[in-house]
Amino acid sequence: MEGQIKAVNDDYLGFGLGLRTDHFEEVLQTNPKVDWFEVISENFMVAGGKPRYYLQQVRERYPIVMHGVSMSLGSTDPLDMDYLKRLKSLVDEVQPAWISDHLCWSQLGGVNSHDLLPMPYTEEALKHIVGNIKQAQDFLGRQMLIENVSSYISYRESAMTEWEFYSAVVEEADCLMLLDINNIYVSARNHHFDAEQYLAAINPQRVRQMHLAGHSDYGDYIIDTHDHPVVDSVWQLYAKAIERFGPVSTMIERDDDIPALSELIEELNQARQISAETLAGLAIGSLADG
């Protein structure tokens, strides 16, 4: 069981936060106790000014990972090579620990929905998105992390579960996983599947990062809004994930109603604590077994 307790990868960064405009100045002034920052790549794919300045400054103090929201890997539009070139030049400049984007599509015929739209889970869609991920990885010269999205619809033609589709994608494209624990919870509630069954199907060797976030619960369905603190059921699912995957770099996404940095750091410390307690429990368990 040893492999499940220590990190399965050498890139373990610890506990991070999303770098948001509201906190730029405070991060530089106070050097908060955050292990790393995740930046939304698109927010910094601009020519200059404050965004680029703060990114450079924060980059000198903290490890950075880059999270993209618009590669639209699942779209039947060809990959946007101009976008990939601009992304690559930002990657060269920032030298992030890794880069990620989503298991989804966003644009078609050059029109952008600015949303992370789910794929039908079919062989055709699988083959298509795998081809695009391979092409993007070849162009960028590195493995990508692919994140599961929250979804509200499922297509009638889907022939496999989300976790079967997601697992097949990462194996065939030879990419890594950014597991969004909140998204698993949201989609499980919306589509009535068992979130733990999802986790159990994921290959621990592929998991490199986790997202946690808050959502809006409407009873019959949940919307992934990133405007609330992480809820208890998602913390519980996070503990299950740590139990299965061992220490994984974890960050909290907050994109709306952004609170004081100190509040987010407190929430991040909750993740640290849950992770530490879960791992300690496992260690005691494996001692008892041994």
Partner 1 sequence: MANLQERQAQMMAFLLAGDDRIVEHISSTELVDGNQRLAIYSNGYRLRLKETLAVDHDILASYMGDEAFDELCNKFVESCPSHNKSLRHFAETLPEFLVEHYAQYPQLAELALFERRLLFSFDAADAEPLANDFLQKLAPEDWPICRFSWHPSLQIFDCQYNVVPIWQELKQEQAPPAPLEQRSRWAIWRNAERLTQFTSLMGVEIALLQSLANGDNLSHACEQLLNYLSEEEIPSFLHSRLQSYISNGMLCLV
**Nearest 5°: phi and psi at 63?**
-65, 150
Instruction: Please state whether beta strands 176-180 and 207-213 pair in parallel, antiparallel, or not at all (unpaired).
Output: parallel
Q: Which C-beta is closer to partner 1: that of 129 or that of 242?
A: 129
154 forms part of the interface with partner 1 (CB under 8 A) = yes
Task: Give the shortest CB-153-to-partner 1 separation in angstroms.
Answer: 5
For residue 86, give the 3-state DSSP assignment.
helix
Q: Which C-beta is closer to Fe ion: that of 87 or that of 186?
A: 186
Task: Give the shortest CB-14-to-Fe ion separation in angstroms.
Answer: 18
42 forms part of the interface with partner 1 (CB under 8 A) = yes
Among 162, 180, 224, 267, binds Fe ion (CB under 5 A): 180
For residue 73, give the 3-state DSSP assignment.
coil
Question: What's the N-to-C CA distance of the chain in angstroms?
Answer: 10
Instruction: Please state whether beta strands 36-40 and 64-67 pair in parallel, antiparallel, or not at all (unpaired).
Output: parallel
Question: What are 212's strand-pairing partners?
Answer: 252
Q: Are 203 and 172 in contact (CB under 8 A)?
A: no
Q: What is the per-residue binding string for partner 1 in 78-97, x denoting contact by CB under 8 A?
A: --x--x--------------
Among 32, 51, 204, 247, binds partner 1 (CB under 8 A): 51
**Nearest 5°: phi and psi at 37?**
-125, 145
Among 117, 140, 160, 279, binds partner 1 (CB under 8 A): 117
Q: Which of residues 190-209 bind partner 1 (CB under 8 A)?
A: 190-192
How far apart, in Å, are the Cα atoms of 241 and each of 3, 12, 187, 192, 201? 14, 15, 16, 19, 11
Q: Which C-beta is closer to partner 1: that of 46 or that of 284?
A: 46
The closest alpha carbon to 50, from 81, 19, 74, 72, belongs to 19
Among 2, 49, 138, 287, binds partner 1 (CB under 8 A): 49
Q: How many residues bind partner 1 (CB under 8 A)?
A: 46
Q: Using CB under 8 A, which of the segments 31-39, 91-99, 111-119, 263-271 binds partner 1?
A: 111-119
Q: Which C-beta is closer to partner 1: that of 77 or that of 196?
A: 77
Among 206, 211, 215, 254, binds Fe ion (CB under 5 A): 211
Task: Give the shortest CB-184-to-Fe ion separation in angstroms.
Answer: 10
The sign of the CA dihedral 212, 217, 220, 224 is negative
The sign of the CA dihedral 168, 170, 171, 176 is negative
160 forms part of the interface with partner 1 (CB under 8 A) = no
How many angstroms from the chain centroid is the CA of residue 229?
Answer: 17
**Residues found near partner 1 in the complex (CB under 8 A):** 42, 45-53, 70, 72, 75-76, 80, 83, 105-115, 117, 119-120, 122, 124-125, 128, 152-157, 190-192, 220-221, 223
